[in-house]
Amino acid sequence: MKLIELRGVGKSFGKNGILQDVNIIIEEGDIWGIIGRSGSGKTTLLNLIAGFLEPSSGEVLHSFKVTEGPKSMHANLHRIKDQIGYAPQHNSFYPKLTVMENLLHFGQLYNLPKETLQNNIKGLLQATELAIHQNKLAEHLSGGMQKRLDLACSLVHKPRILVLDEPTADLDSVLQKDIMNFLAQVNKQGVTLIIASHHLDLMEKVCNKVAIVHQGRVHSNGYLEEIRKPFLKDNFTISLSPGENKERFISILKTLPVDKIIDRQQHLIIHPKNILKTITGLLTMIQDENLYLHDLDIRRPSLDEIFETITQEK
């Protein structure tokens, strides 16, 4: 079900054009990843989707209420605020209130029934593992816990769509994964997610749809697999352990049907003429010669690679 649609949306601040001609359709249950370099307009796009900003051109329409048909997101924001959750880049809660007080404060302001609110809070505290910290002042929480509290505050009223701007910023990799796992759980409960981040590896794992923003334009958007297709690789990479005889590997590879071997220190990127014959021959020779192969990467192009390719091309 279509929730939000961006039709030829452009946004400029004065003479400074930030975005132009953005066309995206957000459907219920999607996890959208908005990726782009710093200053590419990711946050502006999120703000347009969330209805905080009014587009300079085009329109952002929402269909939260099916019976009413699509309506301008910005103009009708006051009517659908309870359907939207927004977790900005920075934590957005009161540091001088406890975890529970923050959740209660924001939840109560959404006029939820007391029981519903209590259930929501209980569920969120468990999911974010903040239950044992519920009476701590928010400012006394660790960075990861603060981020989880921020997400909990954004979800306390059970929105249909949650917009997240760099939810994993300033967090270590473990916490980043935790957050992403949490978001995946949230999505499973029916919340549509729109995430802007530059942690592409994590985005790749969580998002089913991606929009790549570069120089004020959305270059690719839609299902990740669809985006990946034009970027499928014709090469594979082997990684060697330090001290391994790289020359020996290169000489073996040259006996196989390869077009080009690119030497990148511990990594060798091989462009085969026939990927199957080349890989089979390589593995046989490694076994015969009793060599040690640290890693063999024959995967599809990563989002990072796709992003790199797109941004370098442009």
Partner 1 sequence: MKSLWLLTKKNLKLLVRSKMSALVVFFAPLFIILLLGLSYNTSSNYGLNIGIYAPEFTGEVESLMSSLQEQEFKIVKYETSVDDCVKDIKGGYVHTCVSLPESLAVESNEQKEVLFYVDPSKINLVWVVQDTLGEKFNLKSQEISKGLSGGLLSAVSDTKSKLEEQRTQLSSAKEKSAAASSAAQEINQQLTALDLTVPASTYDPQLIVTFKDTASPRIKSSLSDVKEAIETVEASGLEDKTAILGSLGEVEDTLKSLDTLVSGGAGGAAASSGNTSNNQTTVTSTASPSGFLSALVLLEEELLNTKVKLTAAATAVGSTSSSLSSTTQNLQESVSALEVAQQKVTDMKASLDAQKVTDAKVLSAPLVTKIESVSQESSYLNYMFPALLVLVVMFTSLLLGTTLVMMEKNSPAFFRNYFLPLRKGTFVISTYLTTLVITLVQVLVILAVSAVFLKDNLAQLLPVAGVLLLSSSVFSFMGMGIGYAFKSEETGTLASISTGSLLLFVSGVVLPIETISPAIRSIASFNPFVISESVIREIFLFNAGISGIWPELVTLAGYTMGLFVIIVVAEYLVHQHFISGFMKHRHLKHRQQEKRDKNNV
Instruction: Report the alpha-carbon distance of residue 107 to residue 120 in Å, rounded.
Output: 9
Torsion of CA 102, 108, 110, 114, to 10 degrees: 130
Is the CB of 191 or the CB of 227 nearer to partner 1? 191
Nearer to partner 1, 33 or 88 (CB): 88
Q: DSSP code of 88?
A: -
Beta bridge partners of 126: none
CA distance 255 to 264: 20
> Considering the complex, what minimum distance in angstroms separates the CB of residue 105 from partner 1?
5
Interface mask toward partner 1 for 49-88; x: CB under 8 A = -x-xx------------------------x--xx-xxx-x
Residues in 84-113 that interact with partner 1 by CB under 8 A: 84-86, 88-97, 101, 105-106, 108-111
Q: Does 122 bind partner 1 (CB under 8 A)?
A: no
Q: How far apart are CA 163 and CA 43, in angstroms?
A: 10
Whether the Cβ atoms of residue 243 and residue 210 lie closer than 8 Å to each other:
no
Q: Which of residues 186-225 bind partner 1 (CB under 8 A)?
A: none
Nearer to partner 1, 26 or 227 (CB): 26
Residue 5, beta-bridge partner list: 25, 61
**Of 92 and 237, CB closest to partner 1:** 92
Q: How many residues interact with partner 1 (rule CB under 8 A)?
A: 35
Site for partner 1 in 9-38 (CB under 8 A): 38
CA distances from 100 to 132, 144, 156, 308 (A): 10, 17, 11, 42
| Residues at the interface with partner 1 (CB under 8 A) | 38, 43, 47, 50, 52-53, 78, 81-82, 84-86, 88-97, 101, 105-106, 108-111, 137, 153-154, 166, 169-170
